[in-house]
């Protein structure tokens, strides 16, 4: 059999070398991709683990706060004063704050005159404040002088809205944005002074400065204008916020709304529990120390 020309052999050898080189390059790309993917997955898994550790520490601090607030010995209970306190949880740093939910106004049950006072001290003119306070009370069904539903719906339709007040408690504070006459600026001004879990009227002793100003404005109209607190003396609704640090730079903020008291089943009831992204107030507040 005749041999192949040397030039043909050289071409075949060069082509085979190119294939081998491209194969090596492809394998290299695959290895780099798998390595990078593996590192990313490891990093994600590490972050999840760190967040879980921080979250567990924060939840543990909340349960400890509930336990201390439910102590049958009043002198041993944690003070509900809104001061941020640091707990020692092994090597974890946990900052806890306990606040009275009666520090704010519950728009689902507050009197229209109190809502009007809040609107006025946050910048609304008297006429707008009165009109919006009435609209809020009609939305939640707490109006002192209820109007026919058809008359209310007519006003909403005239404003180009295809809905009307449900006549029940708010499901979220965002719902206030649907009230006739409410603007984003007005809602932003009053939002941080509202709660969905507080009593019918705020506690003057713990009220935040703006709520205290609203109560003071009402007092100028005489004692009859001041609403009375309808909450039993032995029942307290608090907001517990915990900021925990995990491995690395992990930070988790957890909160719980808890009602405590001798007449509450088991001594306490959790009304809400979740996570928050707002860490600034806790970090900025002066921190006192608590020991476990």
Q: pLDDT tens digit string along 45-69? A: 666 777 788 888 899 899 999 988 8
Of 241, 235, 231, the residue nearest 260 (C-alpha): 235
Three-state secondary structure call for residue 166:
coil
Q: How many CB atoms lie within 10 A of CB 41?
A: 10
pLDDT for 261 equals 83
Encode pLDDT of 163-199 as tens digits.
999 999 999 999 999 999 999 999 999 999 999 999 8
From residue 72, alpha-carbon distances to 248, 260, 269 in Å are: 39, 11, 16
For the cut 50, the answer to whether the pLDDT of residue 286 exceeds it is no
Place of tokens 């916020």: 241
Of 63, 89, 92, the residue nearest 248 (C-alpha): 92
Mean pLDDT over residues 34-50, rounded?
67
pLDDT for 181 equals 96
Taking the C-alpha atoms of residue 209 and residue 20, their distance in angstroms, rounded to an integer, is 77
- CATH numbers and ranges of domains, the chain: 1-101+231-292 (no CATH), 112-225 (1.10.40)
pLDDT for 118 equals 97
Taking the C-alpha atoms of residue 278 and residue 281, their distance in angstroms, rounded to an integer, is 7
pLDDT for 283 equals 47
Burial of 241 per CB tally in 10 Å (0-12, 13-18, 19+)? buried
**270 with 256: CB under 8 angstroms?**
yes
**213 with 221: CB under 8 angstroms?**
no
For the cut 60, the answer to whether the pLDDT of residue 246 exceeds it is yes
Encode pLDDT of 107-123 as tens digits.
999 999 999 999 999 99
Question: CA 70: distance to chain centroid?
Answer: 24
Mean pLDDT over residues 238-264, rounded?
87
Burial of 75 per CB tally in 10 Å (0-12, 13-18, 19+)? exposed
Do the strands 92-100 and 235-245 form a parallel or antiparallel pair, or are they unpaired?
A: antiparallel
Taking the C-alpha atoms of residue 198 and residue 236, their distance in angstroms, rounded to an integer, is 9
Question: CA 117: distance to chain centroid?
Answer: 25
**129 with 119: CB under 8 angstroms?**
yes
Of 94, 86, 54, the residue nearest 248 (C-alpha): 54
């Amino acid at each position: 059999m005749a041999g192949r020309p040397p030039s043909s052999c050289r071409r075949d050898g060069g082509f085979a070398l190119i294939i081998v080189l491209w194969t090596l390059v492809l394998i290299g790309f695959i290895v780099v991709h798998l390595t990078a993917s593996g590192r990313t997955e490891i990093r994600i898994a590490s972050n999840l683990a760190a967040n879980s550790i921080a979250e567990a520490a924060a939840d543990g601090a909340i349960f400890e706060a509930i336990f201390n607030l439910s102590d049958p010995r009043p002198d041993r209970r944690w003070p509900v004063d809104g001061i941020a306190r640091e707990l020692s949880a092994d090597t974890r740093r946990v900052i806890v704050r306990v606040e009275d939910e009666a520090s704010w106004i519950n728009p689902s049950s507050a009197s229209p005159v109190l809502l009007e006072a809040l609107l006025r001290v946050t910048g609304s003119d008297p006429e707008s404040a009165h009109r919006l306070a009435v609209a809020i009370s009609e939305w939640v069904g707490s109006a002192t002088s209820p109007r026919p539903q058809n008359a209310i719906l007519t006003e909403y339709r005239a404003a180009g809205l295809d809905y009307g007040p449900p006549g029940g408690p708010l499901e979220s504070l965002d719902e206030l944005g649907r009230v006739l006459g409410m603007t984003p600026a007005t809602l932003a001004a009053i939002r941080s002074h509202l709660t969905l879990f507080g009593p019918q009227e705020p506690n003057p002793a713990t009220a935040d400065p703006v709520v205290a100003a609203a109560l003071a404005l009402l007092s100028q109209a005489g004692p009859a204008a001041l609403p009375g607190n309808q909450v039993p003396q032995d029942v307290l609704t608090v907001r517990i916020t915990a900021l925990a640090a995990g491995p690395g730079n992990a930070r988790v903020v957890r909160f719980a709304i808890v009602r405590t008291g001798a007449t509450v089943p088991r001594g306490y009831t959790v009304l809400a529990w979740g996570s928050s992204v707002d860490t600034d107030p806790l970090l900025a507040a002066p921190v006192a120390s608590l020991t476990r």
